[in-house]
Amino acid sequence: MILLSIETSCDDTAISVLKCKGGIKNASFRVLANASNSQIKIHAKYGGVFPSLAKREHIENLPILLEEVLKKAGFGDQVAKHAWRPGHQINLIAVTYGPGLEPSLWAGITLAKELGEKWKIPIMPVNHMEGHILSVFGKDKGKFALKKIKTPALSLLVSGGHTELVLSKKWMQYEVIGKTLDDAAGEAYDKVARMLGLEYPGGPKISKLAEIYRKNKTLHEGNIAQRDGASIAIRQQANMRVESGQCFAFSFPRPMIHSKNLDFSFSGLKTAVLYAIKKIGKLDENKKREIALEFENAVIETLVYKTKKALESHKAKTLIIGGGVASNTHLRREMKKLKNKNLSVYFPKKDLSGDNSIMIGIAGYLRFLKNKKKGTAPESIKATGNLSFK
């Protein structure tokens, strides 16, 4: 079956055409075409996504991307140009209906409904977060195949809007067992980046700075030596912390690490960074790197700690990490350490960690199969900004 998938939940407009085969346990996918448009440059000056602007951009870009994927998928120029005409081989449309920014979601849903009506084919609404979980099935050269996932499976979803631990006692059934009480991990990265004068989205930029500091031993050791020689007053003022032979100028909290539940909170950490920056006054490149490193360590240690706790208490056999923050190098490195003979750990390919329509296509096909190959009545598909698993 050939499927067209649409993703517009935030600031990425994306459309894919996938060839889908097999049943719910052995499905495989081939990407026939994939096109996307990132609005990062447009939103960067606002330091975050501006919803009405995002919607306008989606509406403008969707028809362009549609023509592009139909062409790339090999349906021919005429079909691509007259995409609205019925009569090509697409059998199903998958579209994100939540969670996300409602004006943005509506842009994709409206297109899906129009195409569904014109082409007379079913539509499958998709939960964006399920898309992030299922994004881990990528193989090389645009091919995807379901792996045999052992349950219970735990997914850590970390993006700009979400930080959740999701338990699947059975495959494709979800229960949220922990979530952030305030900012999402990606959001905290973006806000701290802004404090450091880095552009939106800040995650990759902070991560890069932290990684330089982590990797560059000479720079790091030089700094420690310099600080070790500093007077006690300066060291106290700088609020230094010494940990396993390393000396940090900053010490940020590991939020809720001692709480009994599996919830997260990142807004206090963000405030701690703000105070530290205020105290320093003028930030040079080295200070920025140091803050980035300690902030990243605080976020990732917390994510790893809570994930470990959830894995143990639910005796999970599989760990899946998904969402934009899943492309973080240090997070991947630390989570891989949890792998053992009783636990498999899966990440999406780096280019599928962030928002994309391929993961929406995979989720759409599997949901269609689960729904006995029936779509959803178009009139009941509504943008649901706060959609959750339960």
**Residues in touch with ligand KG4 (CB under 6 A):** 10, 159-161, 186-187, 189-190, 201-204, 207, 323-325, 327-328, 354-355
CB-based closest residue to Zn ion:
159
57 near Zn ion, judged by CB under 5 A: no
């106290």: which residue's tokens? 236
To Zn ion, the closest distance from the beta carbon of 356 in angstroms equals: 9
202 interacts with, out of Zn ion, ligand KG4, none, CB within 5 to 8 A per kind? ligand KG4
Whether residue 30 contacts residue 143, with contact meaning beta carbons closer than 8 Å, is answered with: yes
**Quick check: 54 and 11 in contact, CB under 8 A?**
yes
* Distance of closest approach, residue 267 Cβ to ligand KG4, in angstroms: 15
Burial of 142-177, coded b for 16+ CB within 10 Å and e otherwise, reads: bebebeebeebbbbbbbbbbbbbbbbbeebbebebb
Torsion of CA 73, 74, 77, 81, to 10 degrees: -30
Closer residue to Zn ion, CB minimum distance, 111 or 360: 360
27 binds, among Zn ion, ligand KG4, none (CB under 5 to 8 A by kind): none
Minimum CB separation from Zn ion for residue 187, in Å? 12
CB 203 to ligand KG4: min, Å: 2
Counting residues that bind Zn ion (by CB under 5 A) gives 2
| Helix, strand, or coil (residue 329) | helix
Which is closer to ligand KG4, CB of 209 or CB of 369?
Answer: 209
- Beta carbon of residue 336, minimum distance to ligand KG4 (angstroms, whole number): 15
Pick the closer one to ligand KG4 by CB: 10 or 15.
10
User: From Zn ion, ligand KG4, none, which one binds at residue 325 (CB under 5 to 8 Å depending on kind)?
Assistant: ligand KG4
In order of 151, 160, 196, 340, 382, the CA distances from 157 in angstroms are: 17, 10, 25, 21, 23
Question: Of 343-362, which residues contact Zn ion (CB under 5 A)?
Answer: 355
Joined together, the tokens standing for residue 31 give 């990407």
Shortest distance in whole angstroms from residue 53 CB to ligand KG4: 16
Residue closer to Zn ion by CB (options 114, 351) is: 351
What tokens appear for 267 in the block? 């807004």
Separation of alpha carbons 146 and 23, rounded Å: 10
Element of type H or E holding 12: strand 12-21
Peptide bond into 63 cis (omega under 30): no
Neighbour-count burial for 245-262, b at 16+ CB within 10 Å, e otherwise = eebbbbebebbbeeeeeb
CA distance 43 to 53: 8
- Of 34, 37, 110, 159, the one binding Zn ion (CB under 5 A) is 159
Residues whose CB is less than 8 angstroms from the CB of residue 373 and which lie 6 or more positions away in sequence, other chains included: none
Which is closer to Zn ion, CB of 127 or CB of 223? Answer: 127
Start-to-end CA distance of the chain, whole Å, equals 30
Residue (122 or 322) nearer to ligand KG4, CB: 322
Residue 188 binds which of Zn ion, ligand KG4, none (CB < 5-8 A, kind-dependent): none
A 10 A CB-CB count for 385 gives 16
Q: Rule CB under 5 A: say whether 135 interacts with Zn ion.
A: no
Task: Kindly state whether residue 36 participates in binding Zn ion, applying the rule CB under 5 A.
Answer: no
Out of ligand KG4, Zn ion, none, what residue 223 binds, judged by CB under 5 to 8 A for its kind, is none
Q: Would you say 116 or 201 has its CB closer to Zn ion? A: 201
From the CB of 248, what's the least distance to Zn ion, in Å? 32
Minimum separation from the CB atom of position 389 to ligand KG4 (A): 15
Binding site for Zn ion (CB under 5 A): 159, 355
